[in-house]
Structure 1
Amino acid sequence: MFDLVVRSRRAIMPEGEAPAAVAVEAGTIKGIFPYGVELPAATDVDLADTCLTPGLVDTHVHVNEPGRTAWEGFASATRAAAAGGVTTIIDMPLNSLPPTVDRSALAAKQAAATGQCHVDVGFWGGAIPGNAPDLPGLHAAGVFGFKAFLADSGVPEFPPVDRAQLTAAMAAADALFVVHAEDPEHLRDAASSAAYADFLSSRPADAEHAAVATAIDVARATGRRVHILHLSAASALPLIAEARAVGVRVSAETCPHYLTLDAAQIPDGATEFKCCPPIRDGANADRLWAALADGLITCVVSDHSPCTPELKRQDTGDFAAAWGGIASVQLGLPVIWTSARERGHSLADVVSWMATRPAELVGLPRKGRIAVGADADLVAFDPDAEFVVDAHALHHKNPVTPYAGKTLKGVVRTTWLRGSQVTGARPAGRFLTRES
C-alpha cells in the first residue's frame, strides 16, 4: 500500500515528458509506473492532462530573518515558494542580522526559522573581509558554500571583498563560492533621478565583465569552484566559456527578470524594477536565452530580494535611493514558462533550469527530479492556464513586484513536499545541509 500515487499524462522526468503514475511511500518516490496501472494507495490523484513536475529548487533567496523580518521572513517566503512550485530554497547569508558569517550566526538563523518553514531550507554562508578563519567551521556545520560580494552589498554588516580577500577565503575552505560579480572600479554613484536610464548607466556591463574575470582568475589560482550569481551582462559569457574550456570550475546562473524584462520598457519612477546588477536590453536577454539553451548558463533562480514598500521609494520614484531587489520566488515558474514557450522551449527545459540543475549545483541528488529514490517533491502545473498577477494576492510579505498586472501562462495547482500537500496551514519543511 503506497501512501500516495499521483498520475499524469504529462509527467516531466529526467528522460523527458511521458505518461506516468508516481508512487510515494514515507516521503520518497518508490516507483514510477504506467499512467493507467492499478496501484494500492491511501490517496490516488489523477491529474489527467495537467503536468506533473518535480518541485523547483531555488538556490538564491533572501529571507532576511532574523533582523529584517519586516522585509520578508521564513513563514511568508516559504509559503510563497510553495505557491510557486518551489519546494527547496537555499537562503542567502544577508540581509539578516546577524549575517551568516560564522557558526553562531548560522545557529541564530536556524533558531529563527524553526517551526516556520513550509518547504525545505538550506543555508549559504558568507565570505567577508577577515572571516576566512571562520569558513572551515561554518562549512563543517553544513552550509552549501559561501557568498561573496565584489561590490557594495547595500548593507554595512556584509562588506565586499577585494581580490586578495577573495583569494584568502577560497584558499581557506574547499567549498563552492558564489559571487556577486560587479567591479566597483566600473560603477559610479547614481545621481538622484527617476529615470531608469540614469540608474542603468551607473552599472554598466563592463562592471560585470571585469568582476567575472576576477572571480575566474581566483578560481584558477586556488582550484576552487566558483559560481557567478545573477548574471545580467551577456558580454561576460565568452569569459565563462573560455575558462570552462581550459578546466576552470566555473558556472553561472541568471534570473527571470534578466530574461523577460527589457530596460527600454521600464517606466521612469518604476523602482519596483530596480535590482543590481540591472535589467538590460532585449538584445542582451536574447543572448542570455541562447546561453541557457547551449548549457553555458546552467540555472534560473529568483534572487528573491524583497523589502518594505517604503524602501522602494515608490513615493518619489528615485532609483538612486530605492532598495535594489526583485521579489519573485512565487512567480518564477510562470514568468519563465510564459517566455520559454514563446521561444520554442519545452517544459522539460524549464524543469532542467529551475529544478534539476540548481539541485546539482549544491549537491542535492534527492531534489529536483522525478526518479525512484528522490524526495516526493511534486507539483501539479497547468501550463495552459492564464492569470493576471495581483501583487496583493501573493504570499510575499510586501506587495511589490515588477510583474504586477502582467498576464502569465502556467498555474501551480498543487505542491507536495515529500508526499504531503503543502496547504500553508502547517509548516513541515526541514533544514538541509550538504550531507542531506
Structure 2
Amino acid sequence: MDDLVISSRRAVLPDGERPAAVSVRDGRIAAIAPYTADPPAGVDLGDVALLPGLVDTHVHVNEPGRTEWEGFATATRAAASGGVTTLVDMPLNALPPTVDPPALAAKREAAEGACAVDVGFWGGAVPGNLGSLRPLHDLGVFGFKCFTADSGVPEFPPLGFAEMRAAFREIASFGGLVIVHAEDPASLTTPSGGGYAEFLASRPAIAERAAVEQVVRLAEETGVRAHILHLSAADCLDVLAKAQADGLPVTAETCPHYLTLSAEDAQSPVYLGGDPQTTEGRSPEPPASLRSPATAHKCCPPIRDAANRELLWQGLASGVISCVVTDHSPCTPELKRGDFATAWGGISSLQLGLPAVWTAARARGHGLHDVVRWMSEGPAALAGVPGKGGIAVGNDADLVAFAADETFTVDPAALHHRHPVTPYEGRTLTGVVTSTWLRGAPVADAPLGRLLSRPEAP
C-alpha cells in the first residue's frame, strides 16, 4: 500500500510537464502513474503544479557563532515555505568556519534536530588548512569553498594564487569539487561614495572576468572540478562557454537577484526591521526611521544593469550557467543600515527565490520544467546530493505544490528567515507554494530534516 498519492495536471517530471499521479512509499517515490482526480490515500492538486523540492546549494545559515544573523530553525523554515527541501550550508559566516573536522562537528551539533528540511555542508579552503581538506572530504562535506578576494569576515581569508593552486591540486587528488567566489582583488577598489553607483563602480565586471579566467587556467592545470559561484557579470559567459567546449570541468551558477533585479532598482528604500512592539500591525509604508536607502540590494558581486541581466538569461538558456541558487546571506538589520559603502553585502531570499525566478522566467517564455532544471536538478547534480533533484522513482519524495498562476505582494512580515529584510518588499510575484512534503511527510513546525553527507563518505 502506498503511504500517499499526489495527483496533478501539471506534474513537472524529468521528461517534461504532464498530468501524473505520484505514489510515495517509505519516504521515496514508488511509482508515477497517469493522473487521477481521485487518488487513493492521496491529494488531488488539480491545476496546481507539482514540482520536485528545490535544492539550494548556496545558503549561509551562520549558526553557530552568528545565530543572531540567522539559524538552522529559521533558515530551514523559510526554505520549506519557499519550496526548498534540501540546502547545503556555506562554511562561513558561522563561528568557527567549517575549515577543519572540529568545526564541522560543531556545525552538525548546532543543526541536529533543528532543521525543517534536509541540510548538507560545504567545507572551506583557506590559507593554512591544506591538511584538513581530505579529512573534511572523508567526513562527508560536498566540496570546498574558497575566495579570491576578501570574504567580508576575517576568519575566512582568501587564497592567493599559489595557495589556490595547492588547494586545487589537493582537492583534485581525491576527486573533490571546489566552488569559488571569483573576484580579482587587483580590480576592486574602495567605493568613492555611499551611493549605489559608487559601489557598483568599485566592483567592475572585469574583476569577475579576471578571476574566472584564473580559475579556468587552474582547472586546466590541475584537473579539479571547479564551479563559479553567484555569477553576476555576463562578460564572463564567453570564458565559461569556451572552457566547457574545451571539455574542462568548469560550471557556474547565478542567483535570483541577478536575474530579477537591476542596478536601476537599487534606489528605492526598503524596510530594515525595528522594535516588534512598535512595528506590529505596521502599515505598508513603515516610518522613515525604519527604512534605508536600498541597502537590502547590496551583495558581492553586485547586481548590475538591466542589459547585463538579460545576457545572464541567455547564459541560462544556452546551458553555460547550469544552476540558480539564492546565496541567502542574511545579517542583523543594524548591519544593513548606513550606505552602500558600509552596509553588509548579502541578500536574504531563501523563501522568495522560486516565485522571483518563475515570475521573470515565464515573462521570457520559459516553462516550469526550465525552472526545475535550474533550481532542483542542476544544484543536486552539482553537489552530488543523492536522491534529490527530480520526481523520479527511487528518489526521496520531496515535493512541492506550486500555484504557478497565483500572484502575491511580498510583505516582509510574512517571511520566516530571522530578520524581515528583503529587496523584494512590495513587489508582486507570480507563484505561491501551497504545500511542501519532505520524504512524503508534510513540512510543518516539527523539524523533520536530516543532516546529509556525500554518499561515498564513511
TM-score norm. by structure 1 comes to: 0.97
For the 8 Å contact 2:409–2:427, the answer to whether it is kept is: yes
The Cα of 1:247 is off from its aligned counterpart by 1.7
Q: How far, CA to CA, are the matches of 2:234 and 2:35 in structure 1? A: 42
1:417 lines up with 2:438 in the alignment? yes
Give the counterpart letter for 2:395 in structure 1.
A
Counterpart position of 2:131: 133
Q: Any idea what SS the aligned residue of 2:329 has?
A: coil
Give the counterpart letter for 2:363 in structure 1.
E
Q: How far, CA to CA, are the matches of 1:157 and 1:51 in structure 2? A: 43
For the 8 Å contact 2:7–2:37, the answer to whether it is kept is: no
Q: How far, CA to CA, are the matches of 1:287 and 1:198 in structure 2? A: 23
Select which of 267, 287, 297 maps to 2:321.
Answer: 297
Select which of 153, 156, 160 maps to 2:154.
Answer: 156
Give the counterpart letter for 2:454 in structure 1.
R
Q: Any idea what SS the aligned residue of 2:3 has?
A: strand
Q: How far, CA to CA, are the matches of 1:157 and 1:38 in structure 2? A: 56
Counterpart position of 1:427: 447
Identity of counterpart residues, as a percentage?
63
For the 8 Å contact 2:7–2:39, the answer to whether it is kept is: no
Give the counterpart letter for 1:168 in structure 2.
A
Select which of 381, 386, 397 maps to 1:360.
Answer: 381
Select which of 414, 422, 425 maps to 1:401.
Answer: 422
Counterpart position of 2:352: 331
Q: Any idea what SS the aligned residue of 1:430 has?
A: coil
Q: How far, CA to CA, are the matches of 2:327 and 2:46 in structure 1? A: 33
Give the counterpart letter for 2:36 in structure 1.
G
Q: How far, CA to CA, are the matches of 2:100 and 2:264 in structure 1? A: 42
Query: What does residue range 359-398 of structure 1 map to in structure 2 within 5 Å?
Result: 359-398=380-419
List per-residue Cα deviations over 1:306-351 (Å, max 9, x = no partner). Answer: 00100001xx3x1111000000010000000000000000011001
Give the counterpart letter for 1:46 in structure 2.
D
Query: What does residue range 79-90 of structure 1 map to in structure 2 within 5 Å?
Result: 79-90=77-88
1:310 lines up with 2:331 in the alignment? no
Counterpart position of 2:4: 4
Q: How far, CA to CA, are the matches of 2:130 and 2:170 in structure 1? A: 6
The Cα of 1:130 is off from its aligned counterpart by 1.2
List per-residue Cα deviations over 1:364-393 (Å, max 9, x = no partner). Answer: 241010010010000000001110001121
Select which of 143, 147, 154 maps to 2:141.
Answer: 143
List per-residue Cα deviations over 1:219-251 (Å, max 9, x = no partner). Answer: 111100000000000001111111111121100
Q: How far, CA to CA, are the matches of 1:39 and 1:296 in structure 2? A: 40
Q: How far, CA to CA, are the matches of 1:139 and 1:404 in structure 2? A: 39
Query: What does residue range 247-326 of structure 1 map to in structure 2 within 5 Å?
Result: 247-267=247-267, 269-313=293-337, 316=338, 318-326=339-347
For the 8 Å contact 1:260–1:336, the answer to whether it is kept is: yes
Give the counterpart letter for 2:200 in structure 1.
L
Structure 1, 215-224 or 166-175: larger mean CA deviation: 166-175
Counterpart position of 1:186: 187
Counterpart position of 1:345: 366
Q: How far, CA to CA, are the matches of 2:372 and 2:265 in structure 1? A: 28
The Cα of 1:218 is off from its aligned counterpart by 1.0
Counterpart position of 1:212: 212
Select which of 101, 110, 115 maps to 1:112.
Answer: 110
Counterpart position of 2:223: 223
Q: Any idea what SS the aligned residue of 1:2 has?
A: coil
Q: Any idea what SS the aligned residue of 1:29 has?
A: strand
Q: How far, CA to CA, are the matches of 2:413 and 2:137 in structure 1? A: 38
Query: Hey, which bits of structure 1, 4+ residues long, moved more than 2 A?
Result: 37-40
Q: Any idea what SS the aligned residue of 2:362 has?
A: helix
The Cα of 1:265 is off from its aligned counterpart by 2.7
Counterpart position of 2:71: 73
For the 8 Å contact 2:386–2:455, the answer to whether it is kept is: no
For the 8 Å contact 1:192–1:321, the answer to whether it is kept is: no
For the 8 Å contact 1:163–1:218, the answer to whether it is kept is: no
Counterpart position of 1:177: 178
Give the counterpart letter for 2:86 in structure 1.
T
Q: Which runs of 5+ in 2 are unaligned?
A: 269-292
The Cα of 1:191 is off from its aligned counterpart by 3.5
Counterpart position of 2:271: none
Give the counterpart letter for 2:310 in structure 1.
D
Give the counterpart letter for 1:252 in structure 2.
A
RMSD: 1.1
Counterpart position of 1:29: 29
Give the counterpart letter for 2:27 in structure 1.
G
For the 8 Å contact 1:274–1:323, the answer to whether it is kept is: yes
Give the counterpart letter for 1:209 in structure 2.
R
Q: Which runs of 5+ in 1 are unaligned?
A: none
| Count, aligned residues | 429
Give the counterpart letter for 2:407 in structure 1.
E
Closer/same/farther in 2, CA of residues 204 and 34 from structure 1, 3 Å limit: same
List per-residue Cα deviations over 1:371-422 (Å, max 9, x = no partner). Answer: 1001000000000111000112100100110000000000000000000000
Q: Any idea what SS the aligned residue of 1:413 has?
A: strand
